[in-house]
Amino acid sequence: MTPGVLFRRVAVAEAITWALLLAGMFLKYVTETTELGVRVFGMVHGVVFVAYCVATVVVAIDQRWSAGRAVLGLAAAVPPFATLPFERYAGRRGLLSDSWRLRSAPPASLPERLVAWLVRNPVRGLVAGLAAVVVLTGVALLAGPPA
């Protein structure tokens, strides 16, 4: 999977889960029919939100995004559906390559060494990425729901 494909998929998934969560909120707060949508889609959205953030950091490091662009990419996860225009922006600006730079380029820093290991060992990298999402989601659950 290329950086562009990975980023596109998680950006779209994040937007879809936003839509599902908003539908659940409509059912809970407007029609007052059920909370189930918020419970289920809130958790799904939370997990995909964390996955989007992890993917954004990995892609930003590999593709050498500026700190400002990386923060903008992370911030795009907060407003509903903003990951979609950010993904289009990143694609138009050439920020989403068809190959992982660190698969062959020598890493120059600790973050690059970590990402290089992830992309050079795809199965282990996938497992490590999923573990990061699980751990970060667990930390978020311990911290409590957003206010």
Task: Give the tens place of pLDDT for each residue, 83-126.
Answer: 999 999 999 999 999 999 999 999 999 999 999 999 999 999 99
Per-residue pLDDT at 147 = 65
DSSP per-residue string spanning 32-74: -S-SHHHHHHHHHHHHHHHHHHHHHHHHHHHTT--HHHHHHHH
Per-residue pLDDT tens digits for 9-63: 999 999 999 999 999 999 999 999 999 989 999 999 999 999 999 999 999 999 9
